[in-house]
Chain A
Amino acid sequence: MTNPILEMKGISKRFPGVVALDAVDLEIYPGEVVALAGENGAGKSTLMKILGGVYQPDEGQVRIEGEDVAIRSVSDAIARGIGFIHQELNVLDNLNIGENVFLGREPVWGGPLRLVDRPKLHAQTEIYLKRLGLDIPSRTPLGQLSIAQQQMVEIAKALSLDARILIMDEPTSSLTLTETERLLEVTKDLRAHGVSIIYISHRLGEIKDLADRVIVLRDGHNAGELKREDINHDNIVKLMVGRDLKHFYEPPTVEARSNFVEAQELRTRRYPNKPVSFELRKGEILGFAGLVGAGRSEIAQALFGVDGPLQGKVLLDGKPIKIYSPNDAIAHGIYLIPEDRRKSGLILEVPIRENITLPALSRYASVGWIMYEAEKKVSTEMLGKLNIKAPSVESKAGNLSGGNQQKVVLAKWLSLDPKVLIFDEPTRGIDVGAKAEIYHLMRSLAESGVAIMMISSDMEEILGESDRVAVMHEGAITGILERAQCSEEAIMRLAVGKTDK
């Protein structure tokens, strides 16, 4: 085999109080896809930021094509042919595609005037777009593109920079299933053209599909490496957590009770002409599958009253209820754990305590005066009960990891006796360990008689957790599958709107 294009040897990086990386090695050959796996906090991002020139290593060497290099800055990394597709997109949506791709490197004309040569810029951009199979004019404003297309623009930008090593950090975390497939195609195509790709993902299915090799990090160390033929869920998870994880799905031990929540002819603001009816049983987990944009979150928001007054009829325990605002939903014991916890679930700058007590402050107050001790007692209990890893209840919610933040959002509602819990993408961006804890919590809540609605774009999650699965397509429920009928194919068929057999 040829020589590795990139070698990172004995890379260590310390931050105040933590060793983020301890003598980590990584090498990659031309035209190879290496998946980098590990729980959140295992050091994946730090390692990639060192490669991308964001951080400097305390120890260790980076070699590109056998030559020792020091990557001192992001522009250094770019000059060495390292492209970085960040999890959060770095595109400007007030510009068009071509302007984004060539931002800061626009072809110019007019001598000292340095005017932008737009025809040339767009012509060149379209070559890259074609290569990525993106059939959109280069002059399209970025704001009109889907997230997946914007990601392609980022890849086009990396290609235009002659990237030979491409880092992709959770590229599919906000893509739909079809978009994910498209991205995986493009990635494979890039590999065929000799680009080396470091692929970070929490989705083990993608890794299995794509990677030639998996490098697993754990607590800042190399935990192990798997060759193509050894890549499977169990092996990866074993290396990531260093222990055998019991299988996720825990079947219910109590019978679900029918007619607990009945939604009849529910209309959402996004799909006003598509009334949706479904039943949610007490003690079950009802999965909501479908492509992103199928209208699942809209139903959750309508039920929770965020979408304005609820259009349609909802029966809770046989009695019709009126929902005009989240306040009403909360009064009936219907709670939402929203999709974007940093934006709508938590107030990041305030302590965990204040976040937990916010929905039910009057319980901790007498005559409007908040009693700090009562707040502290309940939130400390919640910290222990949900195994939230934080120095104290006074730590700011923003300083916690994704999994712990999600547990704080849950804690807000669990202190309040939920009847119905709506989870919207409960484990997005959360590491495997915390995922298992949240699944376990969901199941034990269901057992205790809570009706759970779980919206998820993660097929493993839907198949692994749901007792029944409702599948949506363009605002309508195309089918509700009992557990025995559930399979990836059956769900996908409904999700793309094929209702006929």
Chain B
Amino acid sequence: MRKELGTFVLLVVLCIVVAILNPRFLAGANLQNMARLIGLYGIFSIGIGMVIITGGIDLSVGSVFALLGVLLSIFLAEYHWPSSLAVIAVIGIGTGLGWLHGFLITRVLMPPFIVTLCGLLFYRGLARFIANDETKGFGSAEGFETLRNLATGSVFQIPMPFILLIIISAIMWVVLHKSIYGRYLYAVGRNEEAARYSGISSRTIIASAYVISGLLAGVAGVLLAFYTNSISPSSHGNFYELYGIAAAVLGGCSLRGGEGSVVGILIGTALLQVLQNLVNLLGIPSSLNFAVMGAVILLGVMADQLLRRRSATK
């Protein structure tokens, strides 16, 4: 709770500072755009957060986006599949990749870092090969306006991805914080051995976190493809896994596992987007984008550490 609070305070302070320096921050269009991005990023960050709670890591998400984006455009624009079929196929592939990671990690007993690092390389390469290294789009293909609406549309001025995020977060909140499954997930992340000795099938639980992460990556992958509307296989989704990890860690997930919350991950995601926005609005050269993000995350975590150390000595 305390951990989330610190990040939340940082978020509010940042918002106020940016709003004062550039009132356009509060303009409807800006807020709307930010909410859309928070929706997109939040969905897969929750998945990555779950994996981190089990003590694992998922580095493959960005490349999964590239692969899924390329496949989606091929299914829709070249094979002319019905849009619902294409989307289900793509989300299914994302889930399947998550299952594969879970299988390799819990049955073949490979370290999560290695498995998903190889995924990061492999899926990127595969995407570029399938696309012939050409940028893919949805061209003049028709019949999936409703679907595209999920990524680019709004309801009562609220962007669809944000609404989807709220729905997914609500579900995941119940799953993580109120259900038996969630309790098991945290138990396995804290102390896998003690969980096993309590009769929990820890391998199944860990594998399931990767499956859910894959599913959410699939959903986010579809939204992202429609949002960007063109998928250049060598750069689409680059670094997204790191945004997800950063959001989860800012939101209080410990890389050792067993800690973190849905609310925290949401706050972390929002913080990253505000930072991105700040760079644009305050006229900071966009080349400094990553530097600003890195510096703020570092300072935020440092402040948290210092405060905690002080409260511990008191």
Binding partners A and B: yes
Residues of A within 8 A of B190 (CB): 347-350
Residues of B within 8 A of A349 (CB): 190, 258
**A301 to chain B: closest residue by CB:** B197
- Asked if A354 CB lies within 8 Å of chain B CBs, one says yes
Q: Which of B179, B200, B201 contacts A358 (CB 8 A)?
A: B200
Q: Are A354 and B183 in contact (CB under 8 A)?
A: yes
Q: Are B180 and A362 in contact (CB under 8 A)?
A: yes
- Asked if A246 CB lies within 8 Å of chain B CBs, one says no
Q: B residues 165-188 with Cβ under 8 Å of A?
A: 174, 178-181, 183-184, 186-187
Residues of B within 8 A of A15 (CB): none
B residues contacting the other copy or chain, number (CB 8 A):
21
Residues of A within 8 A of B200 (CB): 327, 358
Q: Are A306 and B197 in contact (CB under 8 A)?
A: yes
**How distant is the Cα of A344 from the Cα of B198 in the complex, in angstroms?**
9
- Asked if A242 CB lies within 8 Å of chain B CBs, one says no
Q: Which of B180, B183, B194 contacts A346 (CB 8 A)?
A: B194
Q: Which of A306, A348, A362, A412 contacts B196 (CB 8 A)?
A: A306
Q: Are B183 and A412 in contact (CB under 8 A)?
A: no
Most B CB within 10 A of own CB, among A304, A344, A346: A344
- Asked if A325 CB lies within 8 Å of chain B CBs, one says yes
Q: Which of B181, B194, B199 contacts A347 (CB 8 A)?
A: B194
With A358-B183, A368-B179, A370-B183 already in contact, the answer to whether A347 and B197 are too (CB < 8 A) is no
Quote the shortest CB–CB distance from A102 to chain B (angstroms).
33
- Asked if A361 CB lies within 8 Å of chain B CBs, one says yes
**How distant is the Cα of A110 from the Cα of B144 in the complex, in angstroms?**
77
Quote the shortest CB–CB distance from B241 to chain A (angstroms).
27
- Asked if A53 CB lies within 8 Å of chain B CBs, one says no
Interface flags for B197-208 (1: CB within 8 Å of A; 0: not) read 111110000000
A-B contact count, CB below 8 Å? 65
Quote the shortest CB–CB distance from A336 to chain B (angstroms).
7
Q: Are A369 and B198 in contact (CB under 8 A)?
A: no
Q: Are B178 and A358 in contact (CB under 8 A)?
A: no
**B180 to chain A: closest residue by CB:** A361
- Asked if B242 CB lies within 8 Å of chain A CBs, one says no
Residues of B within 8 A of A365 (CB): 179-180
- Asked if B193 CB lies within 8 Å of chain A CBs, one says yes
**How distant is the Cα of A236 from the Cα of B201 in the complex, in angstroms?**
46
Q: DSSP majority for the B interface?
A: helix
Q: Which of B179, B193, B201 contacts A327 (CB 8 A)?
A: B201
- Asked if B191 CB lies within 8 Å of chain A CBs, one says yes
Quote the shortest CB–CB distance from B313 to chain A (angstroms).
11
**B178 to chain A: closest residue by CB:** A369
Most A CB within 10 A of own CB, among B180, B193, B195: B180
Residues of B within 8 A of A350 (CB): 186-187, 190
- Asked if A330 CB lies within 8 Å of chain B CBs, one says yes
Q: Are A361 and B193 in contact (CB under 8 A)?
A: no
Residues of B within 8 A of A325 (CB): 199, 201
- Asked if A31 CB lies within 8 Å of chain B CBs, one says no
Q: Which of A336, A359, A370 contacts B178 (CB 8 A)?
A: A370
Residues of B within 8 A of A319 (CB): none
Quote the shortest CB–CB distance from B127 to chain A (angstroms).
37
Q: A residues 333-359 with Cβ under 8 Å of B?
A: 336, 338, 343-350, 354, 358-359
Residues of B within 8 A of A359 (CB): 198-199
**How distant is the Cα of A440 from the Cα of B196 in the complex, in angstroms?**
28
**B203 to chain A: closest residue by CB:** A325
Q: Are A358 and B258 in contact (CB under 8 A)?
A: no
- Asked if A326 CB lies within 8 Å of chain B CBs, one says yes
**How distant is the Cα of A336 from the Cα of B196 in the complex, in angstroms?**
12
**B189 to chain A: closest residue by CB:** A347
Q: Are A347 and B195 in contact (CB under 8 A)?
A: yes
Q: Are A326 and B178 in contact (CB under 8 A)?
A: no
**How distant is the Cα of A359 from the Cα of B199 in the complex, in angstroms?**
6
With A349-B258, A358-B187, A362-B180 already in contact, the answer to whether A344 and B201 are too (CB < 8 A) is no
Quote the shortest CB–CB distance from A496 to chain B (angstroms).
31
Residues of B within 8 A of A330 (CB): 199
Quote the shortest CB–CB distance from B269 to chain A (angstroms).
25
**How distant is the Cα of A327 from the Cα of B193 in the complex, in angstroms?**
13
Quote the shortest CB–CB distance from B106 to chain A (angstroms).
14
Residues of A within 8 A of B184 (CB): 361
**How distant is the Cα of A350 from the Cα of B188 in the complex, in angstroms?**
12
**B258 to chain A: closest residue by CB:** A349
Residues of B within 8 A of A329 (CB): 199
Interface flags for B6-17 (1: CB within 8 Å of A; 0: not) read 000000000000
Residues of B within 8 A of A369 (CB): 174, 178-179
Q: Which of A304, A348, A412 contacts B191 (CB 8 A)?
A: A348
A residues whose Cβ falls under 8 Å from a Cβ of B: 304, 306, 325-327, 329-330, 336, 338, 343-350, 354, 358-359, 361-362, 365, 368-370, 412
A sample of 28 cross-chain residue pairs with beta-carbon separation below 8 angstroms, ordered by A number, consists of A327-B200, A330-B199, A338-B197, A343-B191, A343-B193, A343-B194, A344-B193, A344-B196, A345-B194, A345-B197, A346-B191, A347-B187, A347-B195, A349-B258, A350-B186, A350-B187, A350-B190, A354-B183, A358-B183, A358-B195, A359-B198, A361-B180, A361-B184, A365-B179, A368-B181, A369-B174, A369-B178, A412-B198
